[in-house]
Amino acid sequence: MEATTGPVAVQEGREGPAAAHPCFRPEHEALRQTVRELVARHLRPHARAWEEARAFPKEVFRLLGEHGLLGLRVPESLGGAGLDWFATLAFVEELHRCGSGGLAMAVMVHTDMALPPLVRWGTPDQHRRFVEPAVRGERVLAIAMTEPWAGSDLAGIRTTARRVDGGWVLDGTKTFITNGAIADVVLVAARTDPKAGRKGISLFLVERGTPGFRTARLIDKVGMHSSDTGELVFEGCHVPDANLLGEPGRGFYHLMWELLGERLVIAAGVVAMAQEALELAVAHVQSRHAFGRPLARFQALQHRLADMAARLEAARQLVYWAAWRMQSGLDAVQAVMMAKLVATRTAFEMADEALQLHGGYGYTLEHDVQRIWRDVRLYRIGGGTDEMLREVISREMGLRPSRTGSERDE
């Protein structure tokens, strides 16, 4: 992707002050502009229809792949762009302006949740078969950790993988799996040693069409309507040795590494959603009149919006700080946990406040603020609940004893 030259201009409005942040270089802003134009031309116009249809076409992945957007941090040798974390943040921020939180989440699952472990621990053969097509948008990825009886407690999963000649046989159920119905390849966590606790979990690449693997049902949700969420069932599902990802028994630690990046992109995404909610609220109070004057002329509303803007900026800068630590190779566990906790709570509270400022209009389906309110709520659960994040933060502060298998382990 061609980079721009010269200083980066401060851009007011849609993206907030991100363009002026010192961590965003000219090439990041060129990328941001590319994504913004693509979203405005190809995604936003169709978002409402896709929300109503409870699905979006898989061709969206191919479109993003054709523009080089699905492998921003993937090495160039594997077909990616070889860029950094701030390229990812620019992409995520603009993608979340597409008018559909579900679409943005589905893409992030592909690019920043399922793909990074494949890049880091995949064999050359797996890179060829899975990474390169995923970067082109030809094969859609999903990651399957959560089970009906194991959410935050990943070490408690019951899906098993039994060793057989030439491979493994998987049995079990996964639930709340984004891209569960459309994914061509699913990264599945399964227990390979029932007596080894978290050291007995391994990762497998299960391809669509493998006998014994099926999507049992789709789960209806409060928000994220255009994103399919499936329950996956594995019954005597044979996976060849060539589809074991990483070392046997190291799957738990591989996923702890993955979750760090997952939580960072979630935090960046919800900040973008909160930015849009704030803009909608400002536009509404400027256009709506009561008692003979615009709502924006009432000091009480001005102060509420000022508080919202200040809290949003604090969350944004915390996300950028966490990204800087990740990019710099520094210990980023506590920073990322704080960023996700603060950003997701701030975004939901801002969406709620923005809806309130719309009055009755905010509660109607014709106004986007209600969709943001519904969509953003998921992120206080998915990718690490508020409660789990507080557990990790308190441990990082030395308030709780450390234990093997923390987010520091790989």
Amino acid identity for residue 313 in this structure: E
User: Alpha-carbon distance 61 to 49, whole Å?
Assistant: 18
Provide the CB-side half-sphere exposure for 287 (13 A, CA). Answer: 8
User: Alpha-carbon distance 372 to 225, whole Å?
Assistant: 11
User: Alpha-carbon distance 219 to 146, whole Å?
Assistant: 14
Active-site annotation holder among 262, 276, 353, 407: 262
Nearest to 170 by CA among 233, 251, 215, 248: 233
User: Alpha-carbon distance 352 to 16, whole Å?
Assistant: 20
138 is catalytic: no
240 in helix, strand or coil? strand
The contacts of residue 272 (CB under 8 Å, 6+ apart) are 92, 93, 94, 96, 97
Amino acid identity for residue 292 in this structure: G
Q: Where are the alpha helices (DSSP H) in 183-332?
A: 251-287, 299-327
Element (H, E) at 374: helix 368-377
What residues are labeled active site?
262
